Amino acid sequence: MTVPETLFESSLSSLRLKARGKVRDIYEAGDDLMLIVTTDRLSAFDVILPDPIPGKGRVLTRVSRFWFERLKDRVPNHLSGTPLEAVLPDPAEREQVEGRAMVVKRLRPLPVEAVVRGYLIGSGWKDYQRSGAVCGIGLPSGLRLAERLPDALFTPSTKAEMGSHDENIGFDQVVGLIGRELAERMREVALGLYREAAAYALDRGIIIADTKFEFGVDEAGVLHWIDEALTPDSSRFWPADGYRPGISPPSFDKQFVRDYLETLEWDKKPPAPHLPPDILARTAEKYREAERRLTGE
C-alpha cells in the first residue's frame, strides 16, 4: 500500500458519506465530528474540471492548518484535535486520505460567504467602474485596477447551491439572515483575520488581494471558523514583486487555469474541457510555491 499522489474522489467504506462539494468529500464521523477529505479536484467558473491537480488537496490541507493554528486566538475554528486513527482505524483507508484529511467539529454553517477585499480586482473592480462603490460601499474616485483599498472591505455574498453562482448582498441582508449580533461578530472577525494574514503574507512576498471565509456556529451559538483557511482556492494570492496598480497581476491561484480556459470556446457549462499536461503541472507548481512562501516548507 502506498499513499496515492493524486486523488480525484475518495471512497471510504468505513464512514458514511455526507456530501461531496466541488473540492471536498465530507464523511460523518460520530455524532459531532466529520471527516473532511480535500481532493485534488479543481473547479473553475464553478464547474469541476475533469482532471485533478496532483497534490493540490494536500497543499490546501497544510495551508489551512497553518492559518487555523496561527490565527487561533482570534476565533475558535472547527479543528477537533481528534487524530485520524480514532475515526479511521483501518490503515488502508487512512492511506487513501493521508495528508488531506481533517477531523472537524460538525457545526451549523452560516448561509453567508464572508468575503474580504483588500485590493480592487475581479467583480469589485467591475462594480467600482460602474458605480464608484464596491457592494454599496463608496470609495474615492480615481482608483486603478488592482489598487490597494484605503481599508479592507467586508463584502459578503450568499452561499449558492452547486451549479449556481454566489450573489453579493449588503450587510443589512446578512443581518436579516443570521441576526445583528452574529453578523457584526462575523464582520469584525473576518476583517481581523484578513488584516493579520495579509500583513504576514506580505512580509513573505505574497499579496492576499481578497479571500472568502466561512463560519459556523456550535450549539451554544458561538461563532467558529470552518471550511478552509486562506488558501489559493479561497483567496487571490499575487507575488508582491512586480505588483503595480493598473495592470492585472499574475497570481498563485487558479487564475492561471481560468486564463487558459478563456482562450477556448467553452461556454463555462459542464462538462468542462480537459487541460493540457503542462497546464496541470504548472498549476500544481503554483500551489506548491504559494505554500512554500507562506509556511516556509
4 or 109, CB closer to ligand ADP?
Answer: 109
Which x/- pattern, by CB under 6 A, does the window 169-208 give for ligand ADP?
----------------------------------------
Please report how many Cα atoms fall inside a 13 Å half-sphere around the Cα of residue 4, on the Cβ side.
19
Sole binder of ligand ADP in the list 78, 117, 236, 286 (CB under 6 A): 78
Stretch that binds ligand ADP, among 49-57, 101-109, 138-146, 257-265 (CB under 6 A): 101-109
CB of residue 226 to ligand ADP, shortest distance in Å:
4
Please report, to the nearest 10 degrees, the dihedral formed by the alpha carbons of residues 242, 276, 293, 78 taken in order.
120
Sole binder of ligand ADP in the list 216, 255, 272, 286 (CB under 6 A): 216
Residue 214 interacting with ligand ADP (CB under 6 A): yes
Residue 227 interacting with ligand ADP (CB under 6 A): yes
CB of residue 17 to ligand ADP, shortest distance in Å:
12
Stretch that binds ligand ADP, among 106-114, 168-176, 181-189, 194-202 (CB under 6 A): 106-114
Please report how many Cα atoms fall inside a 13 Å half-sphere around the Cα of residue 172, on the Cβ side.
3
Residue 6: burial class (beta carbons within 10 Å; 0-12, 13-18, 19+): middle
Which x/- pattern, by CB under 6 A, does the window 37-56 give for ligand ADP?
--------------------
Residue 24 interacting with ligand ADP (CB under 6 A): yes
Residue 104 interacting with ligand ADP (CB under 6 A): yes
Q: What residues contact residue 281 under an 8 Å CB cut-off, 6+ apart?
A: none
Q: CA-to-CA distance for 247 and 257, rounded, in angstroms?
A: 19
Residue 191 is placed in which grid cell? Answer: 476583517
CB of residue 156 to ligand ADP, shortest distance in Å:
14
Binding-site size, ligand ADP (CB under 6 A): 15
Q: CA-to-CA distance for 10 and 17, rounded, in angstroms?
A: 10
Stretch that binds ligand ADP, among 19-27, 53-61, 92-100, 134-142 (CB under 6 A): 19-27
Q: CA-to-CA distance for 174 and 180, rounded, in angstroms?
A: 8
161 or 278, CB closer to ligand ADP?
Answer: 161
Count how many residues are written for the chain: 297
Stretch that binds ligand ADP, among 55-63, 99-107, 113-121, 131-139 (CB under 6 A): 99-107
Distance of CA 191 to the CA centre of its chain: 16
Stretch that binds ligand ADP, among 1-9, 100-108, 240-248, 250-258 (CB under 6 A): 100-108
Sole binder of ligand ADP in the list 12, 23, 75, 257 (CB under 6 A): 23
Q: CA-to-CA distance for 105 and 186, rounded, in angstroms?
A: 19
Residue 137: burial class (beta carbons within 10 Å; 0-12, 13-18, 19+): middle
Sole binder of ligand ADP in the list 56, 58, 94, 106 (CB under 6 A): 106
Q: What is the DSSP string of 186-200?
A: HHHHHHHHHHHHHHH
Q: What residues contact residue 11 under an 8 Å CB cut-off, 6+ apart?
A: 96
Residues facing residue 158 across a β-bridge = 112
Residue 169 is placed in which grid cell? Answer: 448582498
Residues binding ligand ADP (CB under 6 A):
21-24, 26, 78, 104-107, 109, 214, 216, 226-227
